[in-house]
């Protein structure tokens, strides 16, 4: 049992890693090595996590999607490196889904769904017309 000193709102696993979204960070544990790290960046509560195309994605209250990829540098402080912040959203990101063909879908409290290319980490389309938060 680990005390996070914060409310945990989302939890996923990928390989030997478990990721937990908390306020102002993502906590990560390697269940094989026992390593425990904090991935800083998000401001406010992390509301959604997903992993696809070798990328850990975290959507937060600050309207940003954070993207980390594994670091191959054995001297790196963390096994994950922040590679991008996806910021064309107007309200908190509440859900993330990985689709076919290396596509990320993000749902927001602004009632939109954004479509992102996981290779380039660029927004390719915004789907509007929902009448409520997209979850």
Task: Indicate if the pLDDT at residue 2 is higher than 60.
Answer: no
- Pseudo-torsion of CA 122, 17, 78, 93, nearest 10°? 40
Extents of the domains making up the chain: 10-127
Distances (CA, A) of 93 to 19, 54, 105, 125: 17, 20, 11, 16
State pLDDT tens for residues 61-92: 999 999 999 877 777 778 999 999 998 678 89
Residue 16 DSSP label: T
State pLDDT tens for residues 91-102: 899 999 999 889
In this prediction, residue 18 carries a pLDDT of 95
State pLDDT tens for residues 23-66: 999 999 999 999 999 999 999 999 999 999 899 999 999 999 99
What pTM, to 2 d.p., does this model score?
0.88
b/e for 58-77, b at 16 or more Cβ within 10 A?
bbbbbbbbbbbeeeeeeeee
Give, in words, the CATH class of 10-127.
mainly beta
Residue 111 CB partners (closer than 8 Å, separation 6+): 128, 129, 130, 131, 132, 133, 134
State pLDDT tens for residues 118-133: 999 999 999 887 665 5
């Amino acid at each position: 049992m680990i005390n996070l000193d914060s409310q945990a709102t989302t939890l996923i696993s990928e390989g030997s890693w478990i990721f937990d979204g908390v306020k102002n960070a993502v906590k990560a544990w390697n269940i094989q090595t026992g390593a425990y790290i904090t991935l800083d960046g998000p401001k406010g509560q992390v509301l959604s996590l997903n992993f696809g195309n070798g990328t850990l994605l975290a959507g937060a209250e600050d309207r940003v999607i954070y993207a980390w990829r594994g670091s191959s540098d054995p001297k790196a402080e963390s096994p994950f490196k922040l590679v991008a912040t996806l910021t064309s959203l107007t309200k908190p990101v509440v859900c993330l889904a990985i689709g076919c063909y290396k596509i990320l879908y993000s749902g927001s409290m602004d009632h939109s769904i954004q479509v992102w290319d996981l290779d380039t980490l660029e927004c390719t389309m915004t789907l509007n017309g929902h009448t409520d938060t997209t979850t």
